[in-house]
Amino acid sequence: MKRIIRIVLGAASLSVSVPLVATAKDQRARVDLVRARQLVFGIENVNPRSGDVRSDKVIFSWLTNASYAVSLRGRVVLLDAYVHRAETVPGRTPFVVDDLVSLHPEAIFLGHGHSDHADNAAFVAGKLSIPIYASAETCIAMQADAAALYAAQSLPASQVQCIDVTSTGSTPGAEVVSLRQLEPVACITAFRHLHSTTVPQDEDFPIIPVLNSADPRDAQMYPPGTPLSYPTSGVGGGGPISLFFQFVLRDHNHFAFVWHNTTGALKEGCGADACWGPGVGQQLVDTMGALPPTDIELGSLVSLGFSTNGMRDPILYQRAIRPKVYVPIHQTNAALPTSSLEFKLSYLAQLDAMNVPQDQRPEARWMVDPNDYLKPLVYDPSDARWSKPVEHRGLGACPGTQR
């Protein structure tokens, strides 16, 4: 819509076309932004005109498997970009991949390059011209994805901006990196850790088996729709090369959360791609223990090792991280989507079997597929619950090498 202003200059006149409002395309993008952000972060947390998310809160929204949308005081990012059972219209998963584009995150962080984590990352990043943060190996896969999407005319360019967090072939824990993407709001620390794997049963304490069972009514409750298909991720060699991330606010009690979308065998120092030995496992434990105090752990509940060691591996990660709150992730792949509460029973029993003191157990905020998709977890970082010991109240530069 335009308004014509007529300016009279003596006997002459000049007609100037002045935009009254943004173009129709801009309007549509703004409407899509508001709709997507209200869908993901909650209508009460998003400005209905601008689409801005509340700048006084930290909000986590589960997008399936280990994928989360996060707003850190209004700064929106994606942790993984995979959508379990992606369809052309919302179904069991109450959104579609294009909603991740409309959400307009400023960056995507990938834990590793397997398809159940990295699918859609090149598509979303290419559509929005935003960076992906991943291992050097996974960045190769992202460029292969971008090229495939370009060939399929799904992206305007054949490359995406993928920032190497760790170098090719690095040993887990050897490179501790500082990422500046969310400055001055938050400090991000990242390092390579271990992809989940199966090792022999631990004999130091009883292992509680996990009943990975399916509810036969699941298909009846959530009938399949029309699958959505994009060229898949993981073309390159990034598969099991896994990254651990910690995000720490610069103010507001230095509220901190960690996100790891897989959970390896720390005790043995083993991942899906290699066994480095207990020394590397202990190095990772020490690295996690040296991080600023963690308030929330978004941590992979399902380890490929659950068949032999139950919930041991997630608990060993928690013993190193020491979070106040544990939010289990990775529940829709590698385990049956309806098995979440069976894993919870085993997790609680394993804490007892490993003699973890009650005051050292995190508060578990259990998630159930698909009930808890897009159910925002809203935290006030200024709450006294997140206050830190005196030695951590003046958090300075992020540890590690800057990227």
Tell me the CATH number at 352: 3.60.15.10
Statement: residue 20 has pLDDT above 50: no
pTM equals 0.92
In degrees, to the nearest 5, what angle opens at C-alpha 140 toward C-alphas 136 and 143? 130
**Which of 42-56, 231-245, 342-356 has the least mean pLDDT?**
231-245
At residue 22, the pLDDT reads 63
Place of tokens 């991942």: 271
3 within domain boundaries: no
Is residue 4 classed exposed, middle or buried when 0-12, 13-18 and 19+ CB atoms within 10 A define those classes? exposed
Place of tokens 């959104």: 95
Find the mean pLDDT for residues 214-224.
86
Compute the mean pLDDT over every residue in the chain, rounded to the nearest whole number: 90
Find the mean pLDDT for residues 39-55.
98
Q: How far apart are CA 91 and CA 101, in angstroms?
A: 18
336 within domain boundaries: yes
105 within domain boundaries: yes
The pLDDT > 90 percentage for the chain reads 77
345 within domain boundaries: yes
13 within domain boundaries: no
Question: If pLDDT is split at 50, 70 and 90, which confidence band does 332 have?
Answer: confident
C-beta separation of 68 from 80 below 8 A: yes
28 within domain boundaries: yes
**Tens digit of each residue's pLDDT (9 = 90 or more) over 356-403:** 999 999 999 999 999 999 999 999 999 999 999 876 655 555 676 677
C-beta separation of 20 from 1 below 8 A: yes
316 within domain boundaries: yes
Bridge partners for 22 per DSSP: none
Domain count, the chain: 1
Statement: residue 305 has pLDDT above 80: yes
Mark residue 170 as left, alpha or beta (left: phi above 0; alpha: psi -120 to 50; beta: remaining).
Answer: beta
Question: If pLDDT is split at 50, 70 and 90, which confidence band does 192 have?
Answer: very high
Contacts of 49 (CB under 8 A, 6+ apart): 34
Q: What is the largest CA-CA distance in the chain?
A: 98
Statement: residue 63 has pLDDT above 70: yes
What number of residues does the chain have?
403
- Which range marks the domain in which residue 365 is found? 24-402
**Tens digit of each residue's pLDDT (9 = 90 or more) over 73-93:** 999 999 999 999 899 999 999
At residue 220, the pLDDT reads 87
Q: How far apart are CA 363 and CA 366, in angstroms?
A: 9
325 within domain boundaries: yes
Between 335 and 145, where is the model more confident? 145
